[in-house]
A = this chain, B = another copy of it.
Amino acid sequence: MLKETEKEFLKGYDQSKYERPSVTADSVTLTVRRGERRSFRYDPENKLRLLLIRRKNHPYKGCWALPGGFLEPGESIEECVLRELYEETGAKPSALFPLGMYSKPGRDPRGWIISEAFVTVIRGDTEVRGGDDAEDARWFDVSFFKDGNGRRKFRLEDGETVITPDEGESDSLAFDHARIISDALSMIAERVRHGGHIYEFLPDKFTFAELQASYEALTGETEQSSNFRRKMSAQVEPTGQFTSGSGHRPAELYRRKDKETDI
């Protein structure tokens, strides 16, 4: 209950007297996508991919950037990031993880603009299209390598374009988006490793090979399939259905087991 004096205070309160920043929400949008089969005999590779847009407008016009845009009155920051992602690329995520705020002065040449970043996850293959502020939208393959100092870096490739942040300025990313992506990839690897967040990347039914391939694409770790199977077996349950036409022994399809309710 607001007191009378508080009502009066609010009546006299004028937000426009104070300087305010513009606020944006940016989305590091990830998926694990099957590649091509090399022959009837080999399974397709599963690769981590990141969704970028090419900016239609200044600043950084023509550069690749994270989908995102300005927070509007009456919406939450989560609604904002989902709206902007849909407007610019047509994508609808299956999960949303908060990453944090990027507010370093000077990060946007237009002025005082701060951004809240999220990781969004898209299940399986999704067609994307450029829309709104985006001239184009494309999935980039994400790969990791170590730089001279042994630090883990990432590289983005889509056939035409190769983006390697911090190495020259050509084909680089807009704003501080390289840093945001780097933080996002670390965060999501941690969530997959220890938080059990892997099923957001998978369809309802999946084989153990798909589960493991996605896990490895996201964490960069490799494990023996027998040990991986044992480690994950408590989290999934068999469906009784099997793959076929794979050029080798069929694999059973599993689904995620409902989480236990902890009293």
Task: Decide if A10 touches B58 in the complex (CB within 8 Å).
Answer: yes
Cβ of A84 within 8 Å of any chain B Cβ, yes or no, is no
Residue numbers in B under 8 Å from A37 (CB-CB): none
Task: Decide if A15 touches B70 in the complex (CB within 8 Å).
Answer: no
A103 to B101, CA, bound (A): 13
Known contacts A20-B20, A70-B18, A77-B103; is A61 also within 8 Å of B6 by CB?
yes
Complex partner residue of A15 from B5, B13, B104, B112, CB under 8 angstroms: B112
Q: Is the interface of A mostly helix, strand, loop or mixed?
A: loop
26 interchain pairs, CB-CB under 8 A: A1-B169, A2-B59, A6-B58, A6-B59, A9-B57, A9-B59, A10-B58, A10-B59, A10-B109, A13-B111, A15-B22, A15-B113, A18-B22, A19-B73, A21-B71, A23-B23, A73-B105, A74-B105, A75-B105, A76-B103, A76-B104, A76-B105, A77-B101, A77-B103, A77-B114, A194-B194
- Which residues of A, 45-67, contact B by the 8 Å Cβ criterion? 57-61
Known contacts A6-B58, A58-B9; is A15 also within 8 Å of B110 by CB?
yes
Contact with B along A72-84 (1 / 0, CB 8 A): 1111111000000
Cβ of A148 within 8 Å of any chain B Cβ, yes or no, is no
A interface residue count range (under 10 / 10 to 19 / 20 to 34 / 35 or more): 35 or more
Cβ of A210 within 8 Å of any chain B Cβ, yes or no, is no
Closest to A9 in B: B58
The 6 closest A-B pairs by CB, nearest first: A9-B58, A77-B103, A20-B20, A98-B100, A76-B103, A101-B116
Contact with B along A86-120 (1 / 0, CB 8 A): 00000000000010110111000111111010000
Task: State how many angstroms separate the Cβ of A138 from the closest Cβ of chain B.
Answer: 23
Cβ of A234 within 8 Å of any chain B Cβ, yes or no, is no
Cβ of A150 within 8 Å of any chain B Cβ, yes or no, is yes
Closest to A21 in B: B23
A3 to B58, CA, bound (A): 10
Residue numbers in B under 8 Å from A73 (CB-CB): 19, 21, 105, 112
Task: Decide if B5 touches A58 in the complex (CB within 8 Å).
Answer: yes
Task: Decide if B263 touches A103 in the complex (CB within 8 Å).
Answer: no
